[in-house]
Chain A
Amino acid sequence: MFAYILRRVLYAIPILVGVNLLTFLLFFVVNTPDDMARLQLGAKHVTQEAIERWKVEHGYDKPLLLNHQATGAARFTDTIYFRHSATMFAFEFGKGDDGRDIGNEIRTRMLPSLAIALPVFVIGLLANISFALLMVFFRSTYLDLWGVVLCVVLMSISGLFYIIAGQYFIAKLWNLLPISGFAAGLDAFKFVLLPVLVGLVSGIGSGARWYRTIFLEEIGKDYVRTARAKGLSETRVLFTHVLKNGMIPILTGAVVVLPLLFMGSLITESFFGIPGLGSYTIDAIQAQDFPVVRAMVFLGAVLYIVGLILTDISYSWVDPRVRLQ
C-alpha cells in the first residue's frame, strides 16, 4: 500500500503544476497586473507611475511566463509565474495583495470553517443514512412515497432560501439564536447552531434520496435474499448487510469531500458572518487578489487529491476484495 500511496503522491505533482498553471493563465487572461494595481490603489488620483511602483513592489513587473530579456534558467525563473508559484509547493503561500500573510490567514480561518462544515458533514451523513434506511425499510408504502416527495421538495428549494428563512424565523422572529456572527471558544457554540441546522435541512433532501437509491439497489441483491432466507430480521439485514455493502458508493462521495471541509462554504459563511476560508476565497476573487486566489485553488487541489487517496484507502478497508497495488 505504501508504494501505491507514494505513486499517487508523485502523480499529484504534475497535476498540481497543471492546476497552478491553469489558475495562473485564467487569472491573467482576465486581469492584467495593471488592473490589479488599480484595484489596490483605488480609483482616485492614481497615476501610471504609481501603478508601476506597485507592480515593482509586488513582483508583477516581470513577464508572465517567459522572460526574453533574461538568459539561461532565468528566462523561466525571472517571471511572475515562477516567482509567485514555486514556493507554493513548500506550502509557503506568501502574502496577499493587502500585505497579510496567507498561511497565517488559512491557519486562522480553518477552524471557523470546520466548526460549521464538520458538524454538517457528520450529523448530515448520519441523518441522511438514517432517513434513507427508514424509507428503504418502508419501501413501496405511503411512508416511502411521502418521504421521497419530501426529499424532492427539500432539494428543489434554493439553499439561500433556507438561510434567509432560518435567520428570519429562528433568529429574528423567535429570538432563539444570533442571526449571524462568530466568537472564539465555547461562545462559538451558539453561533454555529443555526448555520449547522440550515446546512442539515438544506442537504437532507438530496442526501437521503441518493442513499435511498444506493440501498434500494443493494436490497435487491442475492446476498440480501440469502440473509432473509436465513431468518434474519429486516433491521439486521439493513444495518449489518445492506449498510455495509452500500458503504462503497457512500465512501466515494463522503471521504473525498472530507479534506475539502477545511475550505468552508462560500454562501453560508458570507451570510452568517463566519470568518472561514469560504468567505476568504470569495473576498479574494472580488478583490482580484491573485496570491490568495492562487493559494486557495492550490490548497483545494491538494485537499481534493488527498481526498481521492483517502477514498482509495477506504475502499480496501470496507471491501476486502479491493487491493491497492
Chain B
Amino acid sequence: MTRLGAILTLVGAGMLAGCSDSWNTPYPGSDAQANVVYSAFGERPKHLDPARSYSENEVEFTGQIYEPPLQYHFLKRPYELIPLTAASVPHPRYYDKAGELLPDDAPVAAIAESVYEIHIRPGIRYQPHPAFARDAAGRYRYHTLRATDVADKRQVADFPYTGTRELVAADYVYQIKRLADPRNSSPIFGLMSEHIVGLQALGKTLEQTLQARPGRPLDLNAFALSGAEAVDRYTYRIRIKGKYPQFLYWLAMPFFAPIPWEAEVFYAQPGMSDRNLTLDWQPVGTGPFYLAENDPNRRMVLKRNPNFHGETYPVTGETTDAAAGLLADAGKPLPLIDGAVFTLEKESIPYWSKFLQGYYDSSGITSDSFDQAIQFSAGGDPQLTDSMRGKDIHLVTTVATSLWYVGFNMLDPVVGGLAPERQKLRQAISIALDYEEFVSIFLNGRGIPAQGPIPPGIFGHVDGTAGLNPYVYRADGNRIVRRSLDDARRLLAEAGYPNGRNARTGEPLVLYFDTMASGPDSKSRLDWIKKQLDRINVQLVVRGTDYNRFQDKIRKGNAQLFEWGWNADYPDPENFFFLLYGPNRKVGKGGENAANYQNAEFDRLFERMKDMDNGPERQRVIDSMLEIVRRDSPWVFAFYPKSFALRHAWVHNVKPNLMANNTLKYRRVDPALRAERREAWNRPTLWPLALGAAGLIALVAPAVVAWRRREREAA
C-alpha cells in the first residue's frame, strides 16, 4: 500500500469510527441507552480534596463521592438536616468551665464547651481503591512503592488490584486533623480553629514539625487533637468552644467527610504527585459514586460505587411533591443512575446548543438564550416559549439563598457613621436605586428586590407586606411599592444635601462607586446606576478595577460605595447577619463585614440570636435586628437572585436544593426516551454538503477551463 493509501485508509477509518452514532454526537462510541446523566462544567475544578474544595464547581463532584455524617433532606423545606453516615443527628451536650454537664437550656455565658458525639452506622465501605489492596499475606500491595513502580501509571485504574475497608470513626477524626495540616491550606481552618478545641494548636505543631523535617511524610495519627477523638470503632466526639449551634450545618459539608489514612500513605509515595496521582485529584470516598475518569481538561466521569451502602429515596416531602412526581421513586435504593458524564464546556453558546440537541440533560439560561427559552405571561409569570414546549422541556425556578447588595463603607466620612443625617443619606440612595427596574432590565426578571439581608427560604425571612423594608418601600394594599423620589429628595435634604448639594458649602454631592465590573459588558449596568442617582442630583463616579485591587480597597476601607454578594453556607440567619456583625468587620479585623458596620445594639442582638433555636422568640430578635439594619442602611439591599433552569422530559426527580450538594443520587433518567429524542432531533441535513460540493465544482471547473485555455493561448 502506498503512503497516500495508508493515510486515506486511516482517515476513512477515522470517519467510520466517528460516524457510528449520530453525526454530531459529542459522545462517540458511548451507549445511547446508558442510564447515566449527561452534564457539563464550565470551569475545571481546582481541588477535589474535601479539606480544600469549597467552590460550587468542586463540591459538585466531591458531594457525590464523599459522605459527611449529615445531609439535607432532599425534599423537605425549610431545609432539614438528616443523618447520612451518622445513625442520628447528634445533639450537643453542654459543659461549664468545671466540666460539669449543663442542661440544654443553660445560658450561653455558662457554656464553656459543646460536645457532639457522633455515631456512624456500621457496615459502610469505601469504594474499591488500590490504597486498600492487600496481598495474600495481608500486607498492603501498594504502600511501599518506588518512583519506578509508578512510572507507567497515569490514573488510579492503572493499578490492577483494589481493595476496600469499612468506614470507621477514626477516619472522620483523621479528616478533622487534616484541616489543620498546612500542606492542605484548608479554607476553613481559620474559622474552625476558633471553634474546635485544640485545632489551632495542632496547626502550629504540624507547621513546626514540617519545618523541622521538610519533605518527609507526616503521619497525622501520631498527633493528638483534643477537640476530636474516636471513642470507639463507630463513635467519635468533637469538642466545640462555647456554644455554636451552626456547627451541625458544617457536619453536612464535605470538609467533615472521612478520609482513610491508607489513601494519604498511598498518594504520598514517590512519583505519585508527578503524575497527578494525589488525594486532591483522585478522591477516595464512601459515597454513591466514585470518580472513574478524571480529566478536568475534557471530562469527568462518575460511576456507581459498587460498595455503596443501602440508602433509599425519601418517602416524605412537601405536600406538593407527590403531585409533582417527586415521590414516584419513594423507597427505591439509591443511586437511581449508573453514573454521570460531565464535559468541560467553557462557552455558553455550545452548551445551549448541545442542550437543545439533547446531549445535555439540563441547562441554565443565559441572557443570550433567555428570549429563546422564556416569555412572560400577561400576569408577569415566566413561561416557556412554544419552541421549548415543543421539545417537551420543563422549567424549574427557585430563589437562591443569596443576596446582592450595594455596601456603604461605614468608616467613610461622607456616607458612613450612624448619625441620623447619614442614615437619611443612605436611605435616600436606597430609594433612588430602583432594583425593580434593574431586575427587569438586566436580569430578565430573574430576581426579587430585597427587603433585608435574609433571603427567602432562610428562617427569619418574612414574605409579603409584613416583611417590607419601611425605609425604602411602603404597602399599597397587598402590594409592596418603592417610595417615591420625592421621599428620597426629602431625606437627602434632611441629610444636609438639598437638591444634591451640600447645604453649607454648596458643593455638589459626589460619591464613588467601586466595582470589579469594568468591562464593556458592564457599561450599561454602571450607566444605569449613575442615572438612578442622577435623578436625585447625586453624582456618582464609577471606579472600575480588577479583582485584586477591589479586594484590597475593601480590606483597607478605601471604598465608599461598592457592590457585593453573599451565598449562604447553611440555612441559618446567622450566616447572613454575621456579615454585619461589628467584631467581624473587614478593617482591622479581617472579617466578612465589608461595610465595616458596627452598631452596639445590633451586635448584642446578634450574639443572642446566633445561639437560639428557631422559633417565635428568635423571630422577634431577628425582627429587631432587621429594624436596626434597615434604619441604619449600611447596605442597599439589592435583590435575591432567582435561578431559572431547564430540563428535558427524560430527567426526573429535579427539585432545587440550594443547600445539599449530593443530589445526583436522587436523579432518574429515561435513557430510551433520551435516545429516541436525540435521534429525532439530530438527523443530519445533507443538502448543504451537496450544495457545497456543487459550489466548489462551480468555482473550480471554470478556473481549470480558463487556466487550460490560457495555457493553450500562451503556447
- Which residues of A approach B to under 8 Å, CB–CB? 30-32, 35, 38-42, 44-50, 53-54, 56-57, 95, 97-101, 103-105, 108-109, 134, 137-138, 143, 164, 167-183, 185-191, 233-235, 270-273, 275, 279-280, 283, 287-288
Contact = CB atoms under 8 A, between A and B. Distances in A.
Contacts of A188: 14
Interface residues of B, number: 72
A57 B350 contact: no
Interface of B: 11, 13-15, 17-19, 22-26, 28-29, 44, 46-47, 54-55, 182-183, 185-191, 203, 207, 273-276, 278, 280-281, 295, 297-298, 343-347, 349-350, 353-354, 356-357, 546-548, 551-552, 569, 590, 592, 682-685, 688-689, 703, 706-707, 710-711, 714-715
B689 A99 contact: no
Contacts of B683: 175
Contacts of B354: 179-180
A273 B345 contact: yes
22 contacts: A31-B548, A39-B548, A41-B185, A42-B187, A49-B190, A50-B187, A99-B280, A101-B273, A104-B275, A175-B682, A175-B684, A179-B24, A183-B29, A187-B17, A187-B29, A188-B14, A190-B14, A190-B19, A191-B26, A233-B715, A271-B349, A275-B295
Contacts of A179: 24, 26, 350, 353-354, 357
Contact of A273 (B28, B346, B551): B346
Contact of A233 (B186, B548, B551, B714): B714
Given A50-B185, A187-B29, A44 B54 contact: yes
A189 B548 CA distance: 42
Contacts, number: 188
Contacts of A100: 276, 281
Contacts of B182: 53, 56-57
A177 B688 CA distance: 13
Contacts of A97: 46
B192 to A, nearest CB: 9
A109 B297 contact: yes
Contacts of A234: 710-711, 714
Contact of B24 (A48, A103, A175): A175
A133 B93 CA distance: 87
Contacts of B552: 35
B278 A181 contact: no
A170 to B, nearest CB: 8
Given A138-B710, A176-B24, 11 more contacts: A38-B551, A53-B203, A53-B207, A98-B46, A177-B24, A178-B24, A180-B26, A186-B14, A186-B17, A190-B18, A190-B23
A279 B344 CA distance: 11
Nearest to A100: B276
A180 B347 contact: yes
A40 B350 contact: no
Contacts of B710: 137-138, 234
B185 A54 contact: yes
A45 to B, nearest CB: 4
Contacts of A273: 298, 343-347, 350
B216 to A, nearest CB: 15
B274 A101 contact: yes
B24 A183 contact: no
Contacts of B47: 98-99
The 3 closest A-B pairs by CB, nearest first: A47-B190, A190-B18, A189-B14
Contact of B353 (A95, A167, A174): A167
A108 B297 contact: yes
Contacts of B183: 57
A271 B351 CA distance: 10
Nearest to B548: A35
Contacts of B24: 171, 175-179
Contacts of B548: 30-32, 35, 38-39, 288
A39 B186 CA distance: 13
Contact of A181 (B343, B590, B714): B343
Contacts of A108: 297
Contacts of A31: 548
Contacts of B689: 176
B185 A53 contact: yes
Nearest to A38: B551
